[in-house]
Structure 1
């Protein structure tokens, strides 16, 4: 399971305040703690600063890279911001989050990713917005993968996001997401499937419980990457246990290692 640390996101009030004040100690501490907790990537997002996203995302990138060698997920809907950061990025292969099939977004996001040799998160949506139903998500996943392959992206550099909607916002949204993941995995066995895990629980009490439960269901369907909180011990324990049960952790080696390291 690929763990992408979610905590350096400007939608979190404490992080927004830290970015606004340029509190490098706070941001550095969050980066280090996520790395120590076992994250494989760190997601950075300054999207709440609508008029100054590029400036703040650049500061965030430089601050994090000063204390962590983990590759970054550069998280922005703006192709021009993605390109600017890609040109300045130094470090292990990053991920650009995200491309869509929207007419004005696909080509420039691909250009940004190619600038720094990045992998790509691809959202299963087009100019019509977030799709309804399972089949349309699978269809969009197939189209995105085909287009990205034509642009030279290898399957291991494609992270498909089925666009998980909060389970409390509509009837059957959790099951819809799980079935979409299952269908995408069946059609495209070699790509990654990723989601923002906390999207599933938005608006509900005891969100951590929903997140853990959704993670298990999604992993059963084929999810192999998640933007999540690596410092949540119960969530991480659930992930390791699910890997062991699902047979993607041969001889439970990762589970046993996590136990010895005190992560469970």
Structure 2
């Protein structure tokens, strides 16, 4: 047993790396989904900042109305980054649904490939794409005037937090893609995730919302995600937001993994 376990573990890792390489190559050959993931948040960013930013920024606590647009850009940028991450779940759901409906996953099941590695390759590939998308959207934000004040440690922590959130959201996206019966359905399910930053503290402080919506906004996972990213970008106190963000990321990862593997195993038995 002790001699087999390391070999089995090495087999799983090598299979996952192979699946990761496959998914990254597919993303390069078919860049449409990745471009949409980046362009969507960029359009939202430019719209809310240059059309609504002056008014919305002037309403933020302690902000000089004359600098409302710049203040709102600093406030909304973390929410835009989380929308970017949430949007990558659509790509994960669509790619895994394509593999399921086109029979590629069924072919993998007949080969000597670790079952967990097949899905892990999708997740890791989508996580890498999410990090690239976040970096590009953040770059656009800086081009239009966003000026983060994070220090080296905050930047390092930010990369770690965004990676963990992207990993967790990718597992949820994979579960949605596995659950979907068609590719079209798979593209619709993750839209729920893209709404959560809007229904959190991504665009306005939660205390400005109606009481019933405020309760949801404060306790859903994307609010601590956004507040953690915001604190790291601005070098302000994290408080409990980091703990809540890490906890929610672990919960989403576990739920997505269990959900995805359960569907995969069930369809493997049927196959």
TM bucket normalised to smaller: under 0.3
Greater Cα radius of gyration, structure 1 or 2: 2
TM-score w.r.t. structure 1 length? 0.27
| Structure richer in strand, relative to its length | 1
Name the structure, 1 or 2, with higher relative contact order (CA <8 Å, separation 6+).
2
Q: Which has the higher helix share?
A: 2
